Structure 1
Amino acid sequence: MVYGRRRVGKTELLKRFCADRAHIYFLASQEAEQRQREKFVGQIADHFGDRVPRIDGWDEAFDYLGEKLATETLVVVIDEFPYLVAENDSLPSYVQSFVDERLQDTESMLVLCGSSVSTMESEVLGHESPLYGRRTGQIDLQPFSFRQAREAIPYEFKEAVRSYAVTGGTPMYLTLFDYTRSLVENIQTHVLSPTAVLYNEPEFLLRTELRTPARYMSILEAIATGRTTPNEISGATDIDSGPLSKYLRTLRRLRLIDREVPVTASRKHSKRSRYRVADEFLRFWFRYIEPNRSSIEQAPEMVLEGTVEPDLPNHVATTFEDIAQEAVWAAIRHGELDPYAEVGRWWYGEHEIDLVGLAPDDDRILLAECKWTAEPVGYALMDALRDDAEHVRWGPSTRDERFALVSKSGFVDGLEDDLDENWSLFSASDLESLLSPAEDN
């Protein structure tokens, strides 16, 4: 099974996989069950040069496919499988019979693909599903990390970080930009124009998943503009905490938001939840496009110059923290940092640390700050990090504390010389080296 949220590249991946293999590729759509079945059987018949047989049910359709697979080895892809399940929730049972009685004695492959992550997880992976335990593999396809996306972003490193903060790792958005033009030109052409493909993209995505997206839109806008706790989101949207919990669960199920707790806390029991928009482009869109639609319709250049460009460093700073976390894991793989079991954000009251790594077996903790600023980082940030470290309740009092600073613009003269071996400094060039697309080769 192959699943993951929309636009992440599932269909393209499967088409590339099938390109040099004998295959039948069936893309389901939101149509009546009988029409879907007719199309499915029609594609099978077309591949084998048959006249289309009369088929009255899905059991007969899969029997027909099974007969054909006895004569030829094929890859059979059913894309957007959840659309079929929505029309007939018995479909997984028919697929189960096909797998057990027809497919398992062949060299053929059946691929079930879908964008409805919850349906794929419940109807294919779930314990209650007839298909439970029958899969031979699964791909939960994720957007590209920065290192992966870097292969598609030929800007120099700092500009690539800024660009990734707009497109994120979604293949469609990445490949839409023209990297021979400046980032600002790309934003103006592909996002900030009422005729651009990406101008209404998030609203379109929500409408394909939700019947009434208005409240979900307001929640996403609240989170994208800095209201990250349930109380803050409730205050910004006028949605009471009870209904809000349901909306937040739905957005998490659709993988549009993530719930975070401090890295030292239990995800299951901690009440210090924060939410964040899971996709960089959606975060950009709900921060700059959705609140300024009227102005964009009239004067997009004014919104670009007066709103987006001045505030963009604040938006990019959050992305830079994620990229720094990616670099920390790369440094661990390379042996440039000691290993850590978990790395994430930490906060308590007014205290906050961008990255905290935990190595419970060794009572070792890494505390790191990331700065996307025009000025080099100096002693003030070092002292502030030391002060905040005292408020992190984790491990014994004798824990081994390590520190790191990550800076876009480097460090003030003399700082590195004044630090002991427990400190690590990472400049933009260090991150570029760690996150080179070839760094794992």
Structure 2
Amino acid sequence: MVDFPGRANDLALLERQLRLVRDAAATTPGQAVIVTGRRRVGKSRLVQEFCDRSGLPYLIFQASRGRNPAAERADFAAALAETALPGADLVAGALGSDWNQALRALAVAVPEQTPSIIVLDEVPWLVEQDREFEGALQTVWDRYLSTKPVLLLLVGSDLSMMESLQEYGRPFHGRAGRMLVRPLNPADVQRMTGLEPAEAIDAFLITGGFPEIVQRWKPGTSRTAFLRDQLADPLSPLLMAGELSLLGEVPEPSHSRSALEAIGTGERTFGAIAHRIGVGNPIPSGTLAPILNTLTTKRIVAVDTPLATRPDTKNKRYRIEDPYLRFWLAFLQRGIAEVERGRGDLVASRIERSWPSWRGRAVEPVVREGLERLLPDDRLPGADVVGGWWNRQNNPEIDLVGADRERPAATRIAFTGSIKWLETELFGKRECESLLAGSMSIPGRDYATPLIAVSRNGVEDGLPLAASFGPEEIVEAWRR
């Protein structure tokens, strides 16, 4: 069987759902799963691989955005007629005047006794095209499809829209499980690139774990060599995937796009984002707040708040959630024109000059998630969540705070820590003293609270640290 790197767990999850259908082990013969994840993360490729491996008859239908509903149903009927579903010949040419009839034709084509798989891809676009689609899907599922041994996969990239399909009051509420397809993780990236852990984390920060970009990274290639190669090609996925992703999420120039660009180029606070969008004349908070809420709901933007025993929910820091999009907005978006005229070397030089400082900030959420994945760990006793802490002036700003919970506030601080992610310098006495002094400002922290360090290049001996971690431990966290 051909290797499909980084997707063993996703394939196993889908196979478990199919096994429920094969073994008639659920309350209904048919099972439905909502499959969602960021655009270009590889959902369509995953379900195609799953269908091919299953050996079962299947239908995969991918919707088109903005399509006329009648034309979409005609394509659906044509795709159905070309499948190996046993009853496909019985409904050949049956267009149906609405989605209820089109989906009933599908129910006729699905076998009565043997398992099959149905994939409807880009479901949000079907919902946008025709308000009656959701109701028709629910009716046909309840009356016909769920009574047969079929696995129905509803696939879509709009996370908030896909999650809303299951909300109370929506037609398909309570009828499907949910599966989130994530980008490849740092351990997957290391395996595919053949790099040492520290370099693999660099590769993850650049590619975001998006399979189409990681696959271009030839094993053992250095970061600088990879960037030079990719920036010599105006059509490389590294360059193009960011724009394609944004066009899917924010199709038109707008304040939403401007907010993303502001955050992607380093603005973290509400006020700074408002000033950047307004070019010195900040846009009203009543305009910006719903924009940021929408981007957060779509999981394009993440919002961090200080982790301590006293809540400070208004002291928010915004960041681009996807590492690749963060890299693209910071460096590649404004470099596209240069690459197109054959001067990708200018973009590569600009990246190299800013790389140490940009990476130092970009690696923080990766380190926090890695440490959180290691929990429970004897080196980090009493911690269940990992975050950071800062005051309104960002002085001090503590990279790592471990606590027993995040909301509404921690009841106990388990540790505080600092990240030093430089090529050659050790985490030393100066960094340790700065961490100790800054940590005393954190509500709930006292002199007995342990200190930890995370360093790319190691830690000096003799420091009063409870634990230290390097790139090896951070990457290993994803292998658990």
What TM-score, normalized to structure 2?
0.82
Moved more, 309-318 or 194-203: 194-203
1:231-380 aligned within 5 A: 231-238=271-278, 239-240=282-283, 241-264=285-308, 270-293=313-336, 295-297=338-340, 299-305=343-349, 307-348=350-391, 349=393, 350-359=395-404, 363-373=412-422, 374-380=424-430
Aligned equivalents of 1:60 and 1:272: distance in 2?
52
CA contact (8 A) 2:390 2:397 kept: yes
Pick aligned residue for 1:32 from 42, 64, 68: 68
Structure 1 residue aligned with 2:458: 410
1:4-403 aligned within 5 A: 4-19=37-52, 20=54, 21-30=56-65, 31-47=67-83, 48=86, 49-50=88-89, 51-71=92-112, 72-122=114-164, 124-135=165-176, 137-191=177-231, 193-238=233-278, 239-240=282-283, 241-264=285-308, 270-293=313-336, 295-297=338-340, 299-305=343-349, 307-348=350-391, 349=393, 350-359=395-404, 363-373=412-422, 374-394=424-444, 401-403=449-451
Could you tell me the percent identity over the aligned residues? 26
CA contact (8 A) 1:353 1:369 kept: yes
How far is the alpha carbon of 1:357 from its aligned partner?
0.7
How far is the alpha carbon of 1:294 from its aligned partner?
5.1
**1:370–1:260 Cα change, 3 Å:** same
**1:27–1:428 Cα change, 3 Å:** closer
Structure 2 residue aligned with 1:3: 36
CA contact (8 A) 1:96 1:131 kept: yes
How far is the alpha carbon of 1:289 from its aligned partner?
2.2
CA contact (8 A) 1:75 1:108 kept: yes
Moved more, 289-298 or 166-175: 289-298
CA contact (8 A) 1:202 1:282 kept: yes
**1:215–1:102 Cα change, 3 Å:** same
Aligned equivalents of 2:310 and 2:441: distance in 1?
17
What one-letter code is carried by the residue in structure 1 that aligns with 2:384? A
CA contact (8 A) 1:79 1:114 kept: yes
How far is the alpha carbon of 1:150 from its aligned partner?
2.6
1:153-197, Cα deviation, whole Å (9 max, x unpaired): 311222112211111122222223223433222212324643433
**1:426–1:99 Cα change, 3 Å:** same
Aligned equivalents of 2:109 and 2:148: distance in 1?
11
What one-letter code is carried by the residue in structure 1 that aligns with 2:211? P
Aligned equivalents of 1:286 and 1:228: distance in 2?
14
Runs of 5+ consecutive residues of structure 1 not aligned to the other structure:
none
1:374-409, Cα deviation, whole Å (9 max, x unpaired): 2111111111111111111137x6x85121011111
How far is the alpha carbon of 1:303 from its aligned partner?
3.1
Aligned equivalents of 2:327 and 2:254: distance in 1?
18
Aligned equivalents of 1:249 and 1:159: distance in 2?
34
**1:70–1:308 Cα change, 3 Å:** closer
What one-letter code is carried by the residue in structure 1 that aligns with 2:444? W
How far is the alpha carbon of 1:283 from its aligned partner?
1.2
How far is the alpha carbon of 1:316 from its aligned partner?
1.8
What one-letter code is carried by the residue in structure 2 that aligns with 1:46? E
SS at match of 1:104: helix
**1:393–1:198 Cα change, 3 Å:** same
How far is the alpha carbon of 1:324 from its aligned partner?
2.4
How far is the alpha carbon of 1:347 from its aligned partner?
0.7
CA contact (8 A) 1:8 1:141 kept: yes
Aligned equivalents of 1:304 and 1:23: distance in 2?
45
CA contact (8 A) 2:306 2:389 kept: yes
How far is the alpha carbon of 1:288 from its aligned partner?
1.4
How far is the alpha carbon of 1:242 from its aligned partner?
2.6
How far is the alpha carbon of 1:334 from its aligned partner?
4.9
What TM-score, normalized to structure 1?
0.88
Aligned equivalents of 2:103 and 2:370: distance in 1?
48
How far is the alpha carbon of 1:234 from its aligned partner?
1.4
Aligned equivalents of 1:180 and 1:150: distance in 2?
10
Aligned equivalents of 1:296 and 1:108: distance in 2?
48
